[in-house]
A and B are shown apart, each in its own frame.
Chain A
Amino acid sequence: MYRATADQHEEPRSRTGGPVRTVRVWDPFVRIFHWTLVAAVAVAAATGLLADAPWIDVHVWAGTVMAGLVAARVVWGFLGPGSARFAGFVVGPRAVLAHLRELRTGTAGRHLGHNPLGALMVLALLAAAAGLALTGVVAYGGVLKAGPLAFTTGYTDGRAVLEVHELLAYFLLALIALHVAGVVFESRRSHENLARAMVTGRKPARPDDHLPAARPARPVAAAALALATLGIAAAGLGTLAARPPLGVPTAALDPAYAAECAACHVAYHPSLLPRASWTALFDGLDDHFGEDASLDPATTGRLRAWALANAAEAYDTKAANRLRAVEPAAPFTITGTRFWQRTHADIPDSVFAGSAVVSKGNCEACHADARAGRFYPGNIRIPAPTESHP
């Protein structure tokens, strides 16, 4: 059994610059996987927790890459070399407790591959990442009505799963902090740079190391299995994503509605207000936001019927869900709702006042899909305050 004390004698030798015999511990796939995963998780965390809504597409791509990496790593966990195989490093609770006991008494040996605690961390990180991918795709489908599950996921379900997604995100960040702390701890304890080993793949060879079980890797089988899995998944998810999303308006605006309303302002999609609000609005067209916008009775009747049939109650988009409750003080001022104000709080007044927007009610100036009632965050493009009207 290798002892920490012996290590202290050996380490200075390597610092003198003399040749140190090293062995390869981490195969190229594991190393590329590790650092690509770091990049994907960093991008996903930054875009999910810090960036504004328009970054959603980058976030989803980062999550997709993460999911693909995890899937490939699981395949490699069964077909890779010893230090990559789950069977080579995953141990039972008894071994973990024994390792902890040895750590406390200072008798724990050095594991060339993952030690029992590290193995637990690998599993926890992979599970958290997989959980994030799964909850992410459900939330993406239900809340934003995009991705492979958009055709079947309701807003309320998506919203609930989004909460789990957020909790998992913080859980993963906590795991990463713990993982880094563990790497620092173990690097100091065993006098080696574990982070560098994950770059070079090599560690100094020492006597008495716990060696991972020697198993031959099956790279061709692994690549075939991973590619087949990813290919089938991509094709299946792509087919599902092409289905019409649940509760999203598909029909074009009624031509009379579009013509009459858009004479003065954006033709707001009727799904942005509940039926009670539309009724109040059509009852008060002669004093509509400080102007007489009345129409002949036939036209008013046609527009009212169409708006009521397509009101917020008829759809399941985020906007329809969040704007479905009537604001008693201003039943049809969308920019007066708390939802609107909260989601637009970060946008400076100079943007709204700029010649490209002019008015807060000019949804189309930033939301390319406003007219369709979709309001997908990836379709937001906020013009510079000085940009001229298109």
Chain B
Amino acid sequence: MTRILAALAVAAALAAGTALAAGPRDTLLAGYVAEAGAPASAARGEAFFKATHSGGKPDTASCTACHTADPRSAGRTRAGKPIEPMAVSVSPDRFTDPAKVEKWFRRNCNSVLGRECTAAEKADVVAWLTGQ
């Protein structure tokens, strides 16, 4: 009986741990989706990420300028610093710190597009990279 209870307790703890680990990213994505008022699309996110945009700064016309077209490989800043891969399968802590995500969306969308990204665009990109 105690053994069963112990097993149950371990299982519950594991489940809680998993829920906690996945929590921040799910909450973040849910927030963007709610703000956009439409479900996220990973396909749209990929296209947006790889597209060449106008309106931003000349050296950074696309997300891929620094992140490369392969989200599973490391990118590099224009100054030469390595950037951790964006794909969650390779960098599990991606999109778990809302302040960090917002900071970099704000700066990088401004650099690439010349404006802030919409909640729908953020939702799409996060959805795509979470599945990568």
Contact = CB atoms under 8 A, between A and B. Distances in A.
Interface of A: 262-266, 286-287, 289-296, 357-359, 361-362, 365, 389
Interface residues of B, number: 17
B3 interface: no
A358 B76 contact: yes
Contacts of A291: 57, 59-60, 78, 107, 111
Given A290-B57, A291-B107, 9 more contacts: A263-B77, A263-B81, A264-B78, A286-B110, A287-B57, A289-B78, A292-B110, A358-B80, A359-B78
A262 B83 CA distance: 11
Contact of A292 (B58, B76, B80, B107): B107
Given A287-B57, A358-B76, A292 B111 contact: yes
23 contacts: A263-B81, A264-B78, A265-B77, A265-B79, A265-B80, A265-B81, A266-B81, A289-B79, A290-B57, A290-B58, A290-B59, A290-B60, A290-B111, A291-B57, A291-B78, A291-B111, A292-B107, A292-B108, A296-B103, A357-B80, A358-B79, A359-B78, A361-B80
Contacts of B55: none
Contacts of B77: 263-265
Nearest to B104: A263
Nearest to A265: B79
A362 B107 contact: no
Contacts of A262: 81
B82 interface: yes
A265 B82 CA distance: 9
B59 A389 contact: no
Nearest to B56: A292
Contacts of B76: 358
Given A263-B81, A264-B79, A359-B80, A294 B107 contact: yes
A293 B57 contact: no
Interface of B: 57-60, 76-82, 103, 106-108, 110-111
Contact of B107 (A293, A359, A389): A293
A365 B57 CA distance: 27
Contacts, number: 54
Contacts of B81: 262-266
Nearest to B59: A290
Contacts of B79: 264-266, 289, 358-359, 361-362
A289 B78 CA distance: 10
A290 B93 CA distance: 28
A286 B115 CA distance: 12
A365 B43 CA distance: 39
A-B residue pairs, 9 tightest by C-beta = A358-B80, A265-B79, A292-B110, A359-B80, A292-B107, A290-B59, A264-B77, A291-B111, A292-B111
A359 B111 CA distance: 20
B44 to A, nearest CB: 23
A296 B107 CA distance: 11
Contacts of B108: 292
B76 to A, nearest CB: 7
Contacts of B59: 290-291
Contacts of B58: 290
Nearest to A293: B107
Contacts of A389: 82
A294 B102 CA distance: 12
Contacts of B103: 295-296
Contacts of A264: 77-79, 81
